[in-house]
């Protein structure tokens, strides 16, 4: 039981005083008065977000949530779920019409049930005008037609993570920026038994990033502009053969990897090159362990190499925030989203995320996080370089389904493991895609 005595009351009062006296508190109150979205009387929000990977990011986020509650009186209760569970939870909520008011989810989840998402066009227009406009990938993820169904809060950039000393020992000063050169690097790493590895398993983040990069860098795609399935092509076959050549240089077990596997192996020192967000570096940096510190000092990041397509073909993880139409408090929900992205709030949050989150509003290019550490620099451009899920086709529920169903990852895994021929792997993927895109 909590005992309120004079001392604890004084302490509590002092803390409250400190919070209201702080800049954030005052500013937040003023913001709430001026903001066009007035929360419904007695509004309370249930918000579900993906479970944090960077502790400081989560803490900064929770601070913003507390400030929002203070300024508007809207109680916000937060829950978090692992990456893999976000989409099923949101889907079930959409289907049953009950659950959290706001989801902060992954990729194109809102496009799985666009008609269940609150129209947030006013919030997106307000933020876009104020902060230098949205990057194009953000518009693609947030909008359906002319209507914004989600606020693309941030992008999580995934790039090549490598051990500096290992690629030097293999005869390279940097990660080659062509697919051909990249294969040579992986072969040289294999010869020295310092191995590369990319996930070909059930890894919705890292696995899809790798598989779609393979596909798009070779000028292949799952569908064309008219959403016609074109996966069975000479370009895809070239991508498959390239993937197989890479796979032969990999560390064992990549077909069984989930999103956490490469982090674990890289931090244990067994893996020399992989693709990941900045979380490996952040974890190694934050650790007190000498071995982890050494890995942090000996690692750096590089862009995904460019293939025959001749331009960056990255797919980066988008974190859209969307409110559900069943919510009783759409205005409070909109106010919450707008509040998070105001510069006074978003800048410190972005900084706390240590590169894990990349902004989608152009004005945040100047955030100090991108210049503070040169190893962060590549992540600044994640949102600008990223293509969207679906690529040439529309970003709609079909693109989201193809991704959630691991169709492209499985195609590569089927061929790399020798379970299917190139034709067989493409045919399997084609059949499933045709069903999704019918």
User: Would you call 52 exposed, middle or buried from its count of C-beta atoms within 10 A (0-12, 13-18, 19+)?
Assistant: middle
Residues 6+ apart with CB under 8 A from 170: 185, 188, 189, 191, 192, 194
Stretch that binds other proteins, among 63-71, 99-107, 252-260, 283-291 (CB under 8 A): 252-260
| Residues 156 to 185 in contact with other proteins, rule: CB under 8 A | none
193 binds other proteins (CB under 8 A): yes
CB-based contact 206:259 (threshold 8 Å): yes
The alpha carbon torsion through 293, 296, 298, 304 (nearest 10 deg) reads: 170
What CA–CA distance (Å, rounded) separates 51 from 58? Answer: 9
Asked if residue 112 binds other proteins (CB under 8 A), the reply is: yes
92 lies in the binding site for other proteins (CB under 8 A): yes
321 binds other proteins (CB under 8 A): no
The Cα–Cα gap between 217 and 239 comes to 8
Residues 282 and 54 sit within 8 Å (Cβ to Cβ): yes
By the 8 A CB rule, do 273 and 163 touch? yes
Q: Is 76 or 404 the residue whose CB approaches other proteins more closely? A: 404
Token reading at 121: 């066009």
Of residues 65 and 409, the one with the C-beta less far from other proteins: 409
Tokens of 337: 């989203």
Of 71 and 402, CB closest to other proteins: 402
Q: Which of 252, 288, 290, 310 binds other proteins (CB under 8 A)?
A: 252
Under rule CB under 8 A, residue 113 binds other proteins? yes
236 binds other proteins (CB under 8 A): no
- Which of 64, 71, 186, 428 is the binder for other proteins (CB under 8 A)? 428
Kindly list the distances between the CA atom of residue 393 and the CA atoms of 9, 67, 327, 397, in Å, as whole numbers in the listed order. 60, 41, 31, 11
Q: Find the binder of other proteins among 106, 127, 186, 251 (CB under 8 A).
A: 251
Contact region with other proteins (CB under 8 A), list: 23-31, 111-119, 135-143, 176-184? 111-119
With CB under 8 A as the contact rule, the residue among 410, 426, 429, 437 that binds other proteins is 410
Q: Which residues bind other proteins (CB under 8 A)?
A: 87-88, 91-92, 94-95, 112-113, 115-116, 193, 200-202, 251-256, 258, 265, 268, 270, 397, 400-401, 404-405, 410, 413-414, 417, 419, 428, 431, 435-436
């Amino acid at each position: 039981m909590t005992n309120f005595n004079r001392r604890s009351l004084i302490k509590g009062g002092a803390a409250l005083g400190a919070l209201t006296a702080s800049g954030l508190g005052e500013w937040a109150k003023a913001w709430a008065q001026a903001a066009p979205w007035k929360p419904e009387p007695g509004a309370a929000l249930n918000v579900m977000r993906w479970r944090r990977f960077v502790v400081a990011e989560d803490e900064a986020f929770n601070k913003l949530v507390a400030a929002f509650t203070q300024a508007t009186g809207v109680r916000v209760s937060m829950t978090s779920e692992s990456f893999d569970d976000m989409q099923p939870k949101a889907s079930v909520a959409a289907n049953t019409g009950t659950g959290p008011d706001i989801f902060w989810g992954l990729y194109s989840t809102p496009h799985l049930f666009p008609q269940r998402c609150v129209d947030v066009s006013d919030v997106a227009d307000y933020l876009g005008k104020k902060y230098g406009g949205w990057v194009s990938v953000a518009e693609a993820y947030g909008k359906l037609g002319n209507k914004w169904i989600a606020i693309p809060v941030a992008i999580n950039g995934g790039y090549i993570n490598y051990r500096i000393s290992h690629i030097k020992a293999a005869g390279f000063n940097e990660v080659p920026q062509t697919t051909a050169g990249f294969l040579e690097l992986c072969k040289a790493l294999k010869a020295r038994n310092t191995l590369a590895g990319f996930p070909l398993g059930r890894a919705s983040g890292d696995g899809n990033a790798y598989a779609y990069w393979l596909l798009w860098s070779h000028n292949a795609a799952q569908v064309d502009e008219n959403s016609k399935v074109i996966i069975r092509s000479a370009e895809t076959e070239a991508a498959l053969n390239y993937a197989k050549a890479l796979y032969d240089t990999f560390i064992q077990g990549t077909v069984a990897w989930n999103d956490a596997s490469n982090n674990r192996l890289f931090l244990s020192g067994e893996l020399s090159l992989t693709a990941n967000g900045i979380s490996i570096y952040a974890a190694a940096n934050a650790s007190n362990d000498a071995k982890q510190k050494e890995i942090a000092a000996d690692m750096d990041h590089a862009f995904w190499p460019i293939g025959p397509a001749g331009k960056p073909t990255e797919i980066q993880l988008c974190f859209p925030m969307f409110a559900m139409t069943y919510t009783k408090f759409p205005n409070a929900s909109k106010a919450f989203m707008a509040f998070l992205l105001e510069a006074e709030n978003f800048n410190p949050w972005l900084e706390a995320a240590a590169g894990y989150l990349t902004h989608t509003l152009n004005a945040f290019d100047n955030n100090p996080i991108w210049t503070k550490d040169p190893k962060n620099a590549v992540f600044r451009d994640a949102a600008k370089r990223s293509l969207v899920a679906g690529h040439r086709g529309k970003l709609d529920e079909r693109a989201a389904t193809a991704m959630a169903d691991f169709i492209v990852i499985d195609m590569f895994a089927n061929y790399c493991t020798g379970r299917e021929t190139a034709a067989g792997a493409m045919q399997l993927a084609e059949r499933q895609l045709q069903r999704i895109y019918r």
